[in-house]
Amino acid sequence: MKKTPVYQIDKLKNKDLKLAIIVAQWNNDITDKLYKGAYETLIQSGILKERIKTWKVPGSYELIYSAKKIAICYNFDSIIVIGSLIQGETYHFEYLSQAVSQGIKDINIQYDVPVIFCVLTDKNKQQSLDRSGGKEGNKGIECAKTALSMAIFRKSIK
Ligand code: RBF
């Protein structure tokens, strides 16, 4: 009898997983590309379309509340938060990067769902372009793979 390849078994398992994606709209030329990379990776990994839910929020700062609300109100196996912070002339970059990373860390501690940090914090636009489908790859793809691993981990422990 022909053996089922391992990746097919994984794909079959993956189809039961439920994933949430929250996308900040600041620098949406960047976040759209991160989202596309993440979404397509999930679909290619066997996640069913109807089990991926997407929300848009204004900026990266809003990822904190929205991820918390989704953690409380739904039962996703993993949440991916997508944002792009680019350094400007004020201290906003430092405050926002700090707040968003700490805020998302707090949700990981407080709620029973892994929240995957797909927020770029770059010195300039070129760096962001490089990491959202340019010469440094697409961090959305990497984060989707991390979200899958963590979703499987979550499901494996009852
Ligand atoms: N949000 C981002 O996602 N990326 C940014 O680079 C960004 N830069 C900002 C710069 C300033 C000066 C301000 C006031 C806001 C910025 N935001 C940015 C928006 C922020 O995440 C949030 O949406 C707003 O502060 C409203 O809470």
**Shortest-distance atom of ligand 1 to CA 119:** 3
Is the minimum distance from the CB of 24 to ligand 1 under 6 angstroms? yes
Is the minimum distance from the CB of 60 to ligand 1 under 6 angstroms? yes
Contact indicator for 38, 82 with CB cutoff of 8 Å: yes
Is the minimum distance from the CB of 97 to ligand 1 under 6 angstroms? no
Is the minimum distance from the CB of 58 to ligand 1 under 6 angstroms? yes
Best CA proximity match to 153, nearest among 78, 57, 92: 78
Distance 130 CA to ligand 1 centre (A): 21
pLDDT at residue 89, rounded to an integer: 86
pLDDT at residue 25, rounded to an integer: 98
pLDDT at residue 2, rounded to an integer: 58
Tens-digit pLDDT string for the chain (158 aa): 555 554 455 766 787 899 999 999 999 999 999 999 999 999 999 999 999 999 999 999 999 999 999 999 999 999 999 999 999 988 999 999 999 999 999 999 999 999 999 999 999 999 999 999 999 999 999 999 999 999 999 999 87
Distance 10 CA to ligand 1 centre (A): 39
Structure-block tokens of residue 6:
């391992």
Distance 13 CA to ligand 1 centre (A): 38
Is the minimum distance from the CB of 57 to ligand 1 under 6 angstroms? no
What the chain holds in terms of domains, given with CATH numbers, is 6-153 (3.40.50.960)
Q: Does 30 qualify as catalytic in the annotation?
A: no
Q: Please pick, among 13, 15, 92, 105, the residue that the annotation labels catalytic.
A: 92
Half-sphere exposure of 24 (CA within 13 A, CB side): 24
CA distance 121 to 158: 35
pLDDT at residue 12, rounded to an integer: 64
